[in-house]
């Protein structure tokens, strides 16, 4: 078992999840059960799957959870781009979060490549 809280990919994912709640706070209230919910669920999924994967004994299982986490990051990116297209939320906060997501995706992919060695 690995200490997931020491992993930079988990720490970055955790920050993304927190920032996502800040971004959607300014979304229209009628979006609470649609895109707002989708954004927060996919954001929370990133560090959650990294943490869950760290409990797996096989590298194959661990890698699968990292893949799910990576997929959630791409899902979150897409949802934020949709929010941008319809002008939901504050542009500066969205852009900052999108930058963090891009960094997280690169970090997860790099980590996955290192595990395959």
Q: What is the CATH number of the domain that holds 44?
A: 1.20.1440.60
* pLDDT confidence of residue 1: 54
Range of the domain at 54: 4-115
**What integer is the mean pLDDT of 69-87?**
97
Tell whether the model's pLDDT for residue 117 goes beyond 70: no
- How many distinct structural domains can be found in the chain? 1
**Separation of alpha carbons 69 and 29, rounded Å:** 28
Note the pLDDT of residue 58.
87
**Alpha-carbon gap, residue 4 to 46, rounded angstroms:** 12
Distance in angstroms (rounded) separating the CA atoms of residues 114 and 117:
6
Question: Which tokens sit at 9?
Answer: 């990919």
Three-state SS at 63? helix
Average pLDDT of span 91-106: 97
Which of 87, 83, 74 has its CA nearest to residue 42? 74
Retrieve residue 72's tokens. Answer: 């959630």
Retrieve residue 99's tokens: 């930058």
């Amino acid at each position: 078992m690995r200490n997931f809280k020491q992993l930079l990919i988990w720490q970055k994912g955790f920050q993304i999840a927190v920032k996502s709640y800040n971004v959607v706070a300014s979304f229209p209230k009628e979006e609470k059960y649609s895109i707002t919910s989708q954004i927060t669920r996919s954001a929370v999924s990133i560090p959650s799957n990294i943490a869950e994967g760290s409990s797996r004994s096989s590298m194959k299982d661990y890698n699968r959870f990292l893949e799910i986490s990576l997929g959630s990051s791409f899902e979150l990116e897409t949802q934020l781009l949709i929010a941008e297209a319809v002008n939901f939320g504050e542009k500066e906060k969205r852009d900052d979060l999108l930058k963090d997501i891009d960094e997280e995706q690169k970090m997860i992919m790099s980590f996955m490549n290192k595990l395959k060695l």
